[in-house]
Structure formats: C-alpha cells, structure tokens
Amino acid sequence: MKAVKIIAIVLLVAFVVIQFIPVDRNQSDSVPKTDFMLVNDVPSDIKDKLRVSCYDCHSNNTQYPWYNKVQPVAWFLEGHIKEGKSELNFNEWDALSNRRKASKLRSIIKQIESGEMPLASYTLIHKDAIFSEEETKQVVKYMENLKDSL
Amino acid sequence: MKNLKMNIAVMLLLAVSFTNAQEKEKMGHKHHHDKMMNMKSDLKSEAILSDYFNLKDALVADDSKKAAATGTKLAASLKAFDTSNYTEEEQKELTDIIDDAMEHAEHIAKSDIGHQREHFKTLSKDITDMVAITGSKNMLYQQFCPMYDKGSAWLSANEEVRNPYYGSRMLKCGKVQKTIQ
C-alpha cells in the first residue's frame, strides 16, 4: 500500500514537472499570400469546413483547446502537426508548381473520400471536424474542379 | 574572254561547294554534340527508369515490401538527377517533375500496397513526362488499364501487358497505348 502511494506521488510530481517544459506552439498571426483560401476562390462553406477539419494540422496556425496545452497530450499533438504540415501546408499552397498542386489535390480527394482524413484520433475529440456524406461530396467536387482547372 | 567566263564559273562552283562542306561539318558537329549530351544525361535518367521498372514489377507481383524498398532506391536516383545539360525551359519542367516524383517515391517507400498503387499512378505520369524530355535508349511501351481509378497508364520495357495496379487479380488487364522510342 505504501509502494502504491509512493508511485502515485512520483507520477504526480512528474506530471507537474513536465508541464513546465516549453513546447513550440504552431501559431502565427499572419496568413501568407500563398494561402489556399487567398489564391483560390473558395466558397464560404467549404472554407469553414477546411478551417475546422484541416487547418489545425495543415497550416501554420492551430486552434488549441485547453486540454491540448496539457502534457503529454501536447507532445503527441505536436508530432501530428509537424507531420501534417510536412505533407501539406495550406498556407504555402501557391508556392507549389501546378504539377505538385495536382498531386496534392489527388491525395486530398483520396484521403477525404476514403475517410482516412481527418485522423480518427483527431475527430474523436473534434466532432465538428468529421465530414458528413454531403460535405465529402461537396469538398471532393470542389477539389476535382480545381485540379481540372490547373 | 571565254577563259575568264570559265574561271568565274569554276570559282563560283568552288565557293558553293566550300560553303556546303562547311555547313555539313557544322551540322555533323551539332549532331555529335547532341548525342554527347544525351549520352551523359541518359545515365541518370536510365537509372531512374530502371528503378521505376523494378518498382512496377514489385507491384505486378503484389510485393509491397519490395515495392517499398525500390521506392527508396528510386527516390535516391531521382535526387541524383542532374538537369544542367538541358535548356532553361526543360530544366524548369524537369525540376518540377523530379520534385513531384520524389514525393511519390518517398510515399511508396512507407505505404501499404493500396497507397503504393495510388502514388504509382501519378509517378507514372511524371516519369512519362520526364522521358518525353530526356529520351530513352530502349523502346518503351506506354500501357493502359481502363479499370483502375477511371483509367491509368504506366510504362513498361516489355510489350507484354502485366498490370501493376491489380497484380495477380487482373494480371493481363490492359493494352499498349503507344510505343516510345
């Protein structure tokens, strides 16, 4: 019983200590000129959907809810954001060549259609990020038109 | 007087044949130069093609692990590609192609077979566009499967169709769309 108490105290202390380790937050005040929404004429409902469902991990600006500021959740999240941004950063969209834009759009369509994106670990908490059938159709259609117009 | 006429005629003839010969030499030289350029770049683009064919064969054999390993090799060959022998316009196009192809090769290196095939489709387009600029020392066959993802093409060194998008499920589905020399 005493051992359990000691372990609990150690864990609690560790939990408090890791809160003081600084993390680089993915936050930025300015939106670059190359942003997907700025260079494309995106309908407002699609804009909102992309912001809520994609931009947290695929842009330079994450909307952090309080629990994502608590360690070790924040570390887990930072890893995802880093990976997400390296695959696709909507803020840097226009820096891509047309060939790469077409490739990215193809992947976006495939990932949304197959339900691989947004990640299940993300929609578990962000229920509003889930794509309804209607939203999937709408966004996929928009992305396909965009790809054909390149 | 007659002599003078003859002289002028002979001189004219000489002049014409001399310019002709010079022209020919110039053309011969240019031809030689072009060939040299192709030879040099061939080595790098041929290495890319060879890796691409190994990747295609792995997908035909439904071998995801081997496809991943060849994806890594292909990414390295793409990275080693040198565009400096090409015109400015070609360089820009090639850089775009290589950048895109590299991303697909890297994804193939870390994905399951379904994703590998998705990326292979776009990669095939990139490699086909590359060959249109660099050429190839061997005859290539552009093949086409009308079923996969609303129709998808790939390149092969053999005329015989072996489908990389379906593998054993539909090994011989497809046809030769065109030959590329």
- In a mutational test of the A interface, the residue from B96, B100, B120 whose CB has the highest number of chain A CBs within 10 Å is B100
pLDDT of B95-147, one tens digit each? 999 999 999 999 999 999 999 999 999 999 999 999 999 989 889 999 999 99
Q: Is the CB of residue A89 less than 8 Å from the CB of residue A127?
A: no
The reported pLDDT for the residue numbered B28 is 45
pLDDT of A89-142, one tens digit each? 999 999 999 999 999 999 999 999 999 999 998 888 888 999 999 999 999 999
* HEC assignment per residue over A77-99: HHHHHHHHHHHCCHHHHHHCCHH
Spell out, as residue ranges, where chain B has pLDDT lower than 50. 16, 21, 23-41
Partner-chain contact B97 A99, CB within 8 Å: yes
Q: Which residue has the higher pLDDT, A79 or B35?
A: A79
The reported pLDDT for the residue numbered B9 is 55
Contact residues on chain A for B126, CB-CB shorter than 8 A? 99
The reported pLDDT for the residue numbered A61 is 86
Domain ranges of chain A: 2-148
Sequence-distant contacts of B85-92: CB under 8 A, at least 24 apart: B85/B37, B85/B40, B85/B41, B86/B41, B86/B133, B90/B133
Q: Which amino acid is it at B92?
A: K
The reported pLDDT for the residue numbered A104 is 95
ipTM rounded to 2 decimals: 0.76
Contact residues on chain B for A100, CB-CB shorter than 8 A? 96, 99-100, 103
* HEC assignment per residue over B87-155: CHHHHHHHHHHHHHHHHHHHHHCCCCHHHHHHHHHHHHHHHHHHHHHHCCCCCEEEEEECCHHHCEEEE
* Chain A CA closest to residue B99: A100
Distance CA A129, CA A105 (A): 19
Cα→Cα distances B171→B152, B156, B163, Å: 14, 14, 5
- The answer, for B112 touching chain A at a CB cutoff of 8 Å, is no
- Closest partner CB to B96 (pick from A97, A107, A110): A97
The reported pLDDT for the residue numbered B56 is 96
What band does A1 get if pLDDT is binned at 50, 70 and 90? confident
The reported pLDDT for the residue numbered A63 is 84
The reported pLDDT for the residue numbered A80 is 86
- The answer, for A110 touching chain B at a CB cutoff of 8 Å, is yes
Contact residues on chain A for B118, CB-CB shorter than 8 A? 106-107, 110
- The answer, for B117 touching chain A at a CB cutoff of 8 Å, is no
The reported pLDDT for the residue numbered A97 is 93
Shortest distance, CA A10 to any CA of chain B (angstroms) = 39
The reported pLDDT for the residue numbered B26 is 46
Q: Which residue has the higher pLDDT, A101 or A23?
A: A101
pTM of the model: 0.77
The reported pLDDT for the residue numbered B6 is 56
The reported pLDDT for the residue numbered B33 is 43
| Of B107, B123, B128, residue with least CA distance to A88 | B107
